[in-house]
Chain A
Amino acid sequence: MANRYIRQTNLQDFGEEGQKRLAHARVLVVGLGGLGIPVVQYLNAMGVGTLGLVDHDTVDIHNLQRQVLYSEADSGQSKLGVALKKLRNQNSETNLIPHDTFLTNKNALEIIKEYDVVVDATDNFPTRYLINDACIILNKPFVYGALHAFEGHVSVFNYRQGPTYRCLYPAMPAGNEVPNCDENGVLGVVPGIIGSLQALEVVKIITGIGEVLSGQLLIFNGLQQDHIKISFNSKSENRKIKALQPSYESLDCELAPSISNEEFLKIRASQDSLSIIDVRTVREFENSHLEEAHNIPLNTLALPADLFLENKPIYVICQSGKRSEKAVIELTKVYPKHTFYNILGGMNQMRTQTS
């Protein structure tokens, strides 16, 4: 094992000293998806002493085109469990600490305070803002990576009192403003590149080699194979955060109670009468619909009184689950005494469930 790291300890600027610093470092990686996977694989391989992993998701077959640590056989398993096993095989010397949860405003400070550097490898704005605020409160640097289609962004925030995420983007985008990878798509190799750049920044922060990407946003464009760096300054008001916000969810997410397709079908099978609203257009509805569904297109959302059956919940469906989510938010405002559920996955999933 003595020679395990010789290829990097041979490097003049890195040396035994760099290796020792890695071995003593504690790094937290939030998210074991497209970005997190290359980060944990490289940091684990290179000899980072303690690696904390945060995820609560399971491996899905759609993940495999970019999350290259997982195999077909892992489908349905917890990402954390699979990653732990494979990372242990890769390097038995690393102290791997699993955090089997999503990062929330209840646990973020408790988890992050144990680490020296945090890696934001998440896929949503609420968690990115949560990590930013928690890292400012605890005075920890964090390495940011994010993707859009063929494009990737990287920066190091809150490094030695440097600029933060909010210095670039003060306000969190609303729910449907900017699409995520699930809706927009991502080319498999791009998170591999961006995650690797994040791992490099972590190593630089820990060992002091090179120049840390602080106060600069690197934008990589995979289609033209070029990148630009945008410099930006720290704004003092963004460093004054003393407590986490009571909630980081955008309002949309909080207000739309939902039910899985599977669960819904179970309830449907067990009950004689069920109130279902289909908020798609008349044409979509005519094409195919659930037998007992009432068609009330989203733009004409007004409910007939006979829909409210003995205060039973009302299930709302559309093609993919997006419009019905909007509808549930609207309906809950107008009819606060009634319960509405958004059927996740909509008619798309209904087809695969019932076929």
Chain B
Amino acid sequence: MTILLFGITKDIVGSPTLSVPTASVTGRKIPKTVKELKQFLGETYPELNKLSSLAIAVNNSYAEDEQLINAYDEIALIPPVSGG
């Protein structure tokens, strides 16, 4: 599962993309919903948990927490940006 990172999430992770393993090689539970993905990423990058609004897109559409995700989906983390 590929995750595109935007705004501050790119700075937090330190890279414009992130790959989440789809088979459980690490023993960690693989996220099946948007909410689980947020928790999964938050464990590795605790700074992400501090964002009060973080939009998640699945295949270029805004996704709610309960939406299911699978290995072929393209996910994007889109935090608000404020510069002008």
Contact = CB atoms under 8 A, between A and B. Distances in A.
Interface string A30-41: 010111100000
Contact of B53 (A153, A173, A181): A173
Interface residues of A, number: 43
A174 B49 CA distance: 13
Interface string B42-84: 0000000011110101001110000000000000101111111
A121 B76 CA distance: 25
Given A123-B82, A151-B7, A153-B81, A228 B76 contact: yes
B13 interface: no
Interface residues of B, number: 24
Nearest to A126: B82
B84 A35 contact: yes
A165 to B, nearest CB: 9
B18 interface: no
A147 B84 contact: yes
A178 B80 contact: yes
A181 B78 contact: no
22 contacts: A123-B82, A123-B83, A123-B84, A146-B80, A146-B83, A147-B83, A148-B83, A149-B83, A151-B7, A151-B81, A171-B53, A173-B80, A177-B50, A177-B51, A177-B52, A178-B79, A181-B84, A217-B55, A228-B60, A228-B76, A230-B60, A230-B76
Interface of A: 31, 33-36, 121-125, 128, 145-149, 151, 153, 168-174, 177-181, 184, 186, 191, 217, 219, 221, 224, 228-233
Interface of B: 4, 6-8, 10-11, 16, 50-53, 55, 57, 60-62, 76, 78-84
